[in-house]
Chains A and B, each alone.
Chain A
Amino acid sequence: MSFKITKMMDLDSIDYLVDVEAPEVAERFHPGQFVMLMTKKEGERIPMSVMKVDNGKISMFIRKLGKTSKELRDGITSFENVIGPLGNGIEEKAYGTVVVVSDAVCGHAENYAICDVLGKIEGNNIISIQTFSSKKEIYPDEFLTKKIADRHFITTEDGSFGDHGSYIVTLKRLINNGVKIDYVFGGGKLPTMKAVSTLLAINNIDNLFTTRQMMVDGSGMCGSCRVYIDGEMKLSCIDGPMFDSRKINWTRAMKRYGMFKKEETIANEYYDAHKGGCGQCQK
């Protein structure tokens, strides 16, 4: 199998934008769901968020970090597999005032997909907050949720643009200013999500947050993405990936991290040494 990459764009940020032809996935995709990518036969199954679907193509932000992005940089033209959509989509209905939050670690793609779909439903007022680490890492306008949300905020962690800090700063201000928020969707760094869950609990706001954990198959077989929701073990891949942040055991979710850090470094070094050209490996 082969899935053609139709667009690869350097966003001059931390990500590439990648469009790939995957009509069956595109046809069935709903915001909140994810896909699994395999760049090649020998590739890993990598869970990936989808920013939008259009005409049989799906668009994704792919981090310039690790082996996959190097393969993109070095000009691969297709993926071996694009699997999905996986996980559960959000309910597409009128919620009232919806805030969608995301940061550079997780959620900008979901943010876009959710704003896009919910914004078209009458009765929704969409506020989108996007956090970047600094001004120079902000995406070009067309990849932000600027045009599809009713109100759009950017925050930067170093304060070089917009509110200084994570999306929590802006969200808190909105709440303090008396904006009545009916629902929050989001993703992001685990400590940020943990903090936001407290804020949402205090203010009693319904919400769904992405707890994308490590996955292998993404279909409930490996159990690697187990999370604890209200004390019960759930699988992020088939029960989630989005859960009510107030019910997630964040302490447990945060600890389960970095099992393959050592191997990531090895994979990167191996790739750099074998990307072709030196001919050493042909001897």
Chain B
Amino acid sequence: MPKIKPRVPMGEQPPLQRIKNFKSVPYGYTEDEAVEEAERCIQCKKPKCEPACPVNIGIKEMNLLIAQRKFKEAYLLVKDDNTFPACSGRVCPQEKQCEGDCILKKFDEPIAIGKLEAFIADWGTQHKVEVEEIIANNEDKHVAIVGSGPAGLACAAECRKYGYAVTIYETLHKAGGVLQYGIPEFRLPKDIVDDEVKKLEDMGVKIKLNHTVGQNIYYYELVSQNDAVFLAMGAGAPKFMGIQGENPLDGVYSSNEFLIRANLMKAYKFPEWDTPIDVGKKVAVLGAGNVAMDAARTALRLGAEEVHIIYRRTKEYAPAREEELHHALEEGIIFHELVNPIRFHGNDDGFIDYMELVKMELIEDKKGKLNPTPVEGSNFYMGIDTVIEALGTVPNRLFLDRAPEIKKDKRGVIIVDENHMTSVEGTFAGGDAASGAATVIKALGEGKNAAKSIHAYISSLDD
């Protein structure tokens, strides 16, 4: 085994600088850095990274092409497998996917596949590489897509490539779903999202903003006007802890509200932009997933003096992406393990004042699973000005309540068959709406696969 060069580090804004702005934390690889990093790839005969990627990007060849400075070819290759590489390169949990199975991991750090993917995506955009889309003429066939998040966008792109007339219906006034309202600017710059959306529109995909299916346009209208419908509403409704004192206290946000204000409504530009956001000196974020890290780091950038992550398990169980947890800790966010809030207390103005917590321990059950369990008599108090509940999200019931013919499970997740078809013929579903809260890349993959099924379905109607 030849000696493996160390991973090419990526330049980043230093922590003390970046907590004062919303600009991207990583600077991105330069061409030379990307080439050097790609050269580390040993070009395995049977690469393990590719099957570990939910959309099976041709990673081995991408690395080779980058190493050979064939950037355009690398871009086209990646784009063919993944419609939105600039987004997934930045937000995928690579350590659990491609990089997790990279053979180099046995000797050193794995290839920085995510960073190379983001590099090549940005290169393609900067150099205005035209992607030759094979658009057959099937415009007499219509596909309606509900939701413009990752699943909806990916499905729209693929359906358009098959030549169908595609219309996306989006509730908010900007397209992109969670990429737009959820993931902060410093992790996924909105110019990138807007650019990806614009590319779709340039392909001829129509996007109807401010349209909530089930509210101001009905599902049956979509069914009657289209040959197929794809449901990709995501999991956009917040969960609350449901503990005492939670409501009506001011200063208690769902992570959704906090991030929608900050990202979609750009409250960090208040008062230049109109939407306000109120962040106290001492902020507690409940939960330890990506959304919790996003909320915590956003709170810090909005001027909080102390930001605390409150988590009922230990750090190693935190569902957040490794890099996000790392960045958060680097920025000075304080991580509390094995604690759980049980009660909020307000002051006379109706704002949160302090919360009562209990210590937890991990106790193994019969199946060997470690369950966080309250330690009796361990209650303690923590003074707090703002609480952000980042406990995960569930599908928004607005649509499903009004389309009872679509079967769902008790969590409100749409039930689909192996072809992504729902209980209604011609209506398909994918992304978080059909799998519960998952990852951007999984949604991208499902959107793409559903498009194949939609194509097969519409083609079968002609026979």
Contact = CB atoms under 8 A, between A and B. Distances in A.
Real binding pair: yes
Given A217-B260, A220-B397, A258-B350, A85 B236 contact: no
A259 B216 contact: no
B373 interface: no
A54 interface: no
Nearest to B274: A44
Nearest to A252: B248
B148 interface: no
A258 B250 contact: yes
A216 B260 contact: yes
Contact of A84 (B216, B247, B398): B216
B276 A216 contact: no
Nearest to A84: B216
Contact of B215 (A80, A86, A255, A266): A86
Interface string B76-103: 0000000000000000000000000000
A228 interface: yes
B409 interface: no
B225 interface: no
Interface in B245-301: 247-251, 253-254, 256-257, 260-261, 264-266, 269-278
A219 B173 contact: no
B198 to A, nearest CB: 16
B210 A267 contact: no
A28 B216 contact: yes
Contacts of B350: 255-258
A221 B248 contact: no
A226 B257 CA distance: 12
B278 A1 contact: no
A222 B266 contact: no
Interface in B184-220: 209-210, 212, 215-216
B253 to A, nearest CB: 8
Nearest to A40: B274
Contacts of B453: none
Main secondary structure of the interface of B (DSSP, over half): loop
A44 B242 CA distance: 29
B272 A83 contact: no
Contacts of B270: 263, 266-267
Given A42-B266, A44-B265, A222 B209 contact: no
B225 to A, nearest CB: 15
A43 interface: yes
A81 B173 contact: yes
A43 B277 CA distance: 14
Contacts of A105: none
Interface string A229-253: 0000100001000000000000011
Interface centre among B172, B215, B277 (most CB of A within 10 A): B215
Contacts of A258: 250, 349-350
Interface in B151-182: 171-173, 181
Nearest to A259: B250
Contacts of B396: 219-221, 238
Nearest to B257: A222
Interface centre among A42, A86, A254, A267 (most CB of B within 10 A): A42
A10 interface: no
A255 B248 contact: yes
Contacts of A270: 271-272
Nearest to A42: B273
Interface string A78-92: 001101111000000
A223 B240 contact: yes
Interface residues of B, number: 45
A84 B173 CA distance: 11
Contact of A255 (B181, B249, B253, B265): B249
Interface in A171-203: none
A228 B238 CA distance: 16
A15 to B, nearest CB: 20
Contact of A67 (B237, B242, B265, B274): B274
A154 B264 CA distance: 42
Contact of B398 (A38, A83, A220): A220
Contact of B250 (A83, A256, A264): A256
Interface string A84-120: 1110000000000000000000000000000000000
A221 B264 CA distance: 12
A262 interface: yes
A266 B271 contact: yes
Given A42-B266, A259-B278, A262-B278, A221 B236 contact: yes
Contacts of B269: 42
Given A83-B173, A262-B278, A270-B272, A223 B216 contact: no
Interface in B127-150: none
A27 B165 CA distance: 25
A221 B398 CA distance: 10
A270 B269 CA distance: 12
Given A217-B260, A221-B396, A255-B350, A86 B216 contact: yes
28 contacts: A24-B216, A39-B274, A42-B266, A44-B265, A45-B173, A83-B210, A85-B215, A86-B212, A217-B260, A219-B212, A219-B215, A220-B398, A221-B171, A221-B181, A226-B240, A226-B247, A254-B248, A256-B248, A256-B350, A257-B250, A258-B350, A260-B276, A262-B278, A263-B276, A263-B277, A266-B270, A266-B271, A270-B272
Interface of A: 1, 24-25, 28, 38-39, 42-45, 67, 80-81, 83-86, 216-217, 219-224, 226, 228, 233, 238, 252-260, 262-264, 266-267, 269-271
Given A86-B216, A254-B248, 13 more contacts: A44-B275, A85-B215, A216-B275, A219-B212, A219-B396, A223-B237, A223-B256, A223-B257, A258-B350, A260-B276, A260-B278, A266-B276, A267-B271
